[in-house]
Structure 1
Amino acid sequence: MSEHQEDLPHSRILTKEDLEFFRQSETYKFLLQFILDLREAANGRTNSFECEESESTKSILLILTEVESLMQQYPPVSNAKSRFGNPAFRDYFDAVEKHLAILIPLKFPTLSPAEVGEVSTYLINSLGNRTRIDYGSGHELNFICFLLCLDRLGIVGHTDYPALVLRVFVRYIALMRKIQTNYWLEPAGSHGVWGLDDYHFLPFLFGAAQLSTHKHLRPKSIHNSDIIEMYAKDYMYLNAIAFINSVKTASLRWSSPMLDDISAAKSWTKVSEGMVKMYTNEVLGKVPIMQHFLFGKLLPLDELPSEKHSGGKSAADQTHAGHIHQEGWGDCCGIKVPSSIAASQMNHVGELRTVPGGVPRPIPFD
């Protein structure tokens, strides 16, 4: 164990009571407000909007470039008969983790070794799960936590928010699409195939805000292939639709029924408001996702109800592999779902189109 290993962020939430305790905490308020602030910074602005890029913002972008460049050294291994995650991802993950231990203190020399460890933990865990070779909204949330930690440390500030969402977050999503494509990351949980997207949520939340002031584009525009082709580079929401269309041959009605339903909303403002409600309920409000949320000194939490009954043991101490097995939307340990990217590349698209139970959940966009 390294000198600062005990200071690294770790999972603690085990029960619904733990989650409710967290949702009343200052850390939860900071986290949600940070997401809302980034959303506001994206409001009505395209990805190419001219915004200030501080030295810290540029450093984050350089770190993401370095993380991407390491992929060349760890190509996928021959795995032609499987549509599940490629095991070469684990070697890549380990290499990135070692590289970040050097790169982050180089780019942010004012950080202490303990702070470097915390920041690095959120960033490496934003790339996916090393063991399961999967990715989901919880990993995406780790990237937001990485940015929030830099904010709390004073590395970035409020004036950086437009660049953090329109440059840094967009760059992160592009990186993750490459990682997902290269290593065939599986959707984290058995229900991602019928949600918004197999992997991501926040591009839709930030992307709807980008489109909320547009004079001509409407939610139903996602069904117009010419519009998607024309505007995908400008708006996160439309870029996400373009990616889905590139890996799934079925229409959105079948491949992403929730997105199809949302397209009937009257305005992008309604979609934007609904995305926030859905995110707080379906991501920040679900134990199967939030049981993996990492707490440290930068994102702290007082003693949880489950810890009071267990002598202070953490979630990792109390459970196998640090998580519990539950059913529901966002289930992290459900039936393994093959990568739709793998299916597309192997010309076997179309097997994963049905909604579990036959009826999608109600959505807050009316």
Structure 2
Amino acid sequence: MNTESVIGDGKMEKLGPTLPINHRFLEPEKAVKTITDMAIWEKSEAYMEYTGFIATLNEAIKGKPLSVDCKISNNVSKFINLLEKIDELIDEFPPVEQPQRFGNTAFRDWLAKVKISSTQLLQEVLEPQLHLAIPEIKVYLEESFGNATRIDYGTGHEMSFVMFLCCLYKIGFFDSEDKVATVFFIFNKYLQIARRLQQTYRMEPAGSHGVWSLDDYQFVPFIWGSSQLINQPRIYPPVKFLEDDIIDKFADEYMFLSCIKYIKEVKKGPFAEHSNQLWSISAVGSWTKINQGLIKMYKKEILAKFPVIQHVMFGSLLPIRRFPIQQ
């Protein structure tokens, strides 16, 4: 995959607005209803846009720690503020006393509040000319934090947030200079909120409890986090990411290590038993190979799994129609 995002006219271009003035936004809907629909998804514009977007940001942050000096635009700052408001809402809905250990029902009240507030939150952040996009893009934001019925969270919810970010580029809210800050400030803040929700409301892992993933909840921060570690001599060879002193020293600089630290905090027992795939990855000789392998694994173990993709929403920005073949 080329490291530049695939934009809607079928050409490889830099991230940015490509929409005509008369673009018609659509409220996203599920489109992958049966396993046979997976073939449509894998040839769709949405698939190409999404995987291209991940590859573009993966390239932008290669070899960079979270503390790197990067541009923080006004729009990035506004969006960080939006996520902080969502984070603060958790304080308004403390866990309730209940008999079962997992799935605290207060999460449903929190998520209902987010959904009620999402339109206003986005109106406060987006320029007025972009407000027509809100009914379409807000669905991705609302689906980013977990399922209210099951009180669970998994890679499909994470995918919804990355799709949301992709949409913000497609409507021109973010531009090419925002790529590093998108990962290091916005996605990283989202990751902190997701972890807080998991802990506060004792959320179940969605799907098969991490069978298709590297841990119970996340995947994308391992991709982008391994890209950060390329050509970083302090965490080389990669097996060092298992060492407690390395984790403690660098978890605030590298997303991959923050993920390992979080796993070690929430899971007990030998790491090789509760996180076998990550244990296996530690034997790979270079972070470049790990990064490439994780992207392949993500496509195979997440993007090719019907139980995940059946929940994906498609609209005008991430359409299910077939990606145009280049002449």
**Which TM-score applies when normalising by structure 1?**
0.78
Kindly provide the CA deviation profile for residues 219-254 of structure 1, in whole angstroms up to 9, marking residues without a partner as x.
211221000000000000100000010111212101
Check conservation: 1:194, 1:258, Cα contact below 8 A.
Answer: no
Q: Which residue of 2 aligns with 1:210?
A: 228
Mapped pair 1:97 → 2:111: no
Distance in 2 separating the partners of 1:97 and 1:83:
26
Kindly provide the CA deviation profile for residues 256-308 of structure 1, in whole angstroms up to 9, marking residues without a partner as x.
111011111111111101000001111111111111110112212239xxxxx
Mapped pair 1:246 → 2:265: yes
Kindly provide the CA deviation profile for residues 31-73 of structure 1, in whole angstroms up to 9, marking residues without a partner as x.
1110001111111001111111111111111110000011111
3-state SS in 1 of match to 2:226: helix
Mapping of residues 281-320 of structure 1, within 5 Å: 281-302=300-321
Mapped pair 1:61 → 2:74: no
3-state SS in 1 of match to 2:233: coil
Check conservation: 2:44, 2:319, Cα contact below 8 A.
Answer: no
Mapped pair 1:21 → 2:40: yes
Mapped pair 1:37 → 2:56: yes
Q: Which residue of 1 aligns with 2:202?
A: 184
Matched AA of 2:32:
I
Residue number among 137, 141, 145 corresponding to 2:159 in the alignment: 141
Residue 154 to residue 195, structure 1, CA distance change in 2 (3 Å): closer
Please report how far the alpha carbon of residue 131 of structure 1 lies from its aligned counterpart in structure 2 after TM superposition: 1.0
Listed as ranges, the gaps of 5+ residues in structure 1 are 1-5, 304-366
Mapping of residues 258-337 of structure 1, within 5 Å: 258-302=277-321
Distance in 1 separating the partners of 2:205 and 2:279:
20
Matched AA of 2:79:
I
Kindly provide the CA deviation profile for residues 86-118 of structure 1, in whole angstroms up to 9, marking residues without a partner as x.
111000001011111111011103355541111
Residue number among 138, 149, 153 corresponding to 2:171 in the alignment: 153
Residue 194 to residue 29, structure 1, CA distance change in 2 (3 Å): closer
Q: Which residue of 1 aligns with 2:93?
A: 74
Check conservation: 1:41, 1:165, Cα contact below 8 A.
Answer: no
Check conservation: 1:44, 1:212, Cα contact below 8 A.
Answer: yes
Distance in 2 separating the partners of 1:118 and 1:48:
33
Check conservation: 2:64, 2:228, Cα contact below 8 A.
Answer: yes
Q: Which residue of 2 aligns with 1:132?
A: 150
Mapping of residues 103-118 of structure 1, within 5 Å: 103-118=121-136
Residue 66 to residue 262, structure 1, CA distance change in 2 (3 Å): same
Listed as ranges, the gaps of 5+ residues in structure 2 are 1-24, 323-327
Distance in 1 separating the partners of 2:272 and 2:321:
44
RMSD (Å) for aligned C-alpha atoms? 1.6
Check conservation: 1:188, 1:199, Cα contact below 8 A.
Answer: yes
Residue number among 188, 197, 211 corresponding to 1:170 in the alignment: 188
Residue 35 to residue 194, structure 1, CA distance change in 2 (3 Å): closer
Please report how far the alpha carbon of residue 190 of structure 1 lies from its aligned counterpart in structure 2 after TM superposition: 2.4
Residue 172 to residue 197, structure 1, CA distance change in 2 (3 Å): same
Check conservation: 1:105, 1:111, Cα contact below 8 A.
Answer: no
Matched AA of 2:96:
V
Distance in 2 separating the partners of 1:42 and 1:170:
13
Residue 226 to residue 194, structure 1, CA distance change in 2 (3 Å): farther
Distance in 2 separating the partners of 1:188 and 1:176:
13
Please report how far the alpha carbon of residue 9 of structure 1 lies from its aligned counterpart in structure 2 after TM superposition: 1.1
Residue 137 to residue 194, structure 1, CA distance change in 2 (3 Å): closer
Distance in 2 separating the partners of 1:21 and 1:265:
34
